[in-house]
Structure 1
Amino acid sequence: NFELPLNDNYLRQIKNHAQIDYRIEARTTLSDLAPWRQIGIVSGLLGSIDDHKAEPGSQLIYRITPINQFGEGPSSSSYPIKLPLLLTTLERCIEDFRFLILGSNTIQLRWRLGDTVIDALGFRRNPNQSYNMTSHLDTDESAEICERVKFSIERRDGYAGDWYPIREQINGNLHNKIILSNFEYLDKEIACRIIANVDGQQTKPSRPINISIKTVEEYLISWDDPDIQSLYTSHILNLSIPQVLQKDTTYAIQIQHEGSIEWTTIASNLDTNQWTWIQPNPLIGYHVRILPSNQFGFGHPTRNVLIPPQVSK
């Protein structure tokens, strides 16, 4: 927008039907030799025109030149104008996006506001600071960025599902951490991503991370056979029936979930001293014990062994 010179000479030309047009041009400030780009010509008293080719984030100088039937008049240039950056075009707005599984249905997400966003908000002082810019910000700048940034978390189940928000309007910070509970189905493939909203503009989503459990698909449980000879070396039974006690001994494997008092048998009538447990739930910790038996009945169970949750990222 610009105001027309409503002086006596101009009003006299209008009264005499001498039309004055205005040519509007723009040039980048990156170089004094950059060519002028014509935006358009405004006729009469309009005083307004739209620049549809201005690139977001660029700095431009605008020039206005009056034209009438006698030719061009003296041009008038504006001060350099910094156009706001379109944040939806920025890359790497979220960096160092990681997760940590804390339990069977609880995860922790961690991420950092990208340097490109901090630079776009005008907080880069030294052009050579291109790495870990957050360490160069003072307290006031960090507080201002926190007020202007909000985060939202989206989730996708499987590879072909739709993204849907699970937490919105998270107060922004340079370094962020959040714990999500009631996160079911961690034993299946789940993807999460972070979206930053800066000054009301939604940036590009972060790269999605797949939250999956990587662990062995089986547990090998083994134990030592009892040595009847060593058990009864000083007992009269050693002379008569130790082989009978050891004959036809079988084993059962029992597990107890952490936090439970009940034992569950997952294998029985085993005649060897090892057994492979296929596809245990790696999110749960177990206590395991062996229960021997023979023709006389069940023996005493072994000391239970803890298998902690096998979770990692």
Structure 2
Amino acid sequence: MRVLLTGGAGYIGSHTAVNLISDGNKVLLYDNLSNSDASVINGIAAITGVKPTLIKGDVLDEIGLVNAIEKFKPDAVIHFAGLKSVKESSLKPLEYYSTNVGGIVTLLRAMLKTGVNNVVFSSSATVYDSRQKMPVDENGIVGNAANPYGETKIICEKILADIWRRYSLNVTILRYFNPIGAHPSAMIGENPVYPNNLAPYITEVALGKREYLGVFGNDYPTVDGTGVRDYIHVCDLAEGHSLALKNMDGLKVYNLGTGKGSSVLEVLRAFCNVEERDIPYRIMPRREGDVAELVACCDKAKKELGFAPVYNLTDMARSCLAYARKNFSGKIK
């Protein structure tokens, strides 16, 4: 299969590229490199023996997308490209609506023009109303997102459903919970220009780049007062995309998580256990747009796709630290 990955040089995109290439697929990465680095293709090549082509292009550029699709002739598109910071989305809502919603509209136009009929969409657990009982399955209440980022994903899902009804595209929506970890080779991992997720901050503290980890809120109704999320290893998440591509038929929606929630302090403890020492942290005020708990029920993905995560929280922490030590040595104090 030939697969175009928008945002393919990013964290999840690059790991999915490794998974797809290892399964014998051909991939094209299309990325504007706003929060990633072109050098990731060297890591992908080192792992797979295949150096993928990377086109620097913006998902809002319809002509650029059409040109890339016409040249590569993909069987399917996986749409990763977009802005993803919960905190930033509350500060820059217009930018998030423009990029995330505008991006899916532009991509779908390009696909319809070029006759590509299969798309996998990178959605998020933030589409769910967090006030419902956890873990939440795909029939859970969608709406009342706590932040503009989540709202953009809700709108994108609605657009995809409408396009499926009108044009009969095969659409699979994957609602990620919280990706974490790095490839076991430590050749690729989470290396954002602007960190948004928990793990990069913990590793920076562990390796001396930051003085402490800021923990946003300790008064949530959770096991220890800190936010609880369903953390999934990025390699497990990448496998979920490969499985989805093998089961494209109509409109489908799947949760991708582990079904187990962990608090911020529990994640931090996993890193401390790997390091065999304490990692300093400070409690900070709650962050706008955060919710108390989001945990997946993944029974549907297990039954229909054969999705079965294999990595645990310790594996996630260990791989993050190994990747950071291998790749950030020149950046650490």
Shorter-chain TM-score: what band? Answer: under 0.3
The alignment's TM-score, normalised by the length of structure 1, stands at 0.21
Q: Please report the TM-score for the alignment, with normalisation by the length of structure 2.
A: 0.20
- For the pair shown, which has the larger CA radius of gyration, 1 or 2? 1
Structure with bigger helix share is 2
Bigger RCO (CA 8 Å, 6+ sep): 2
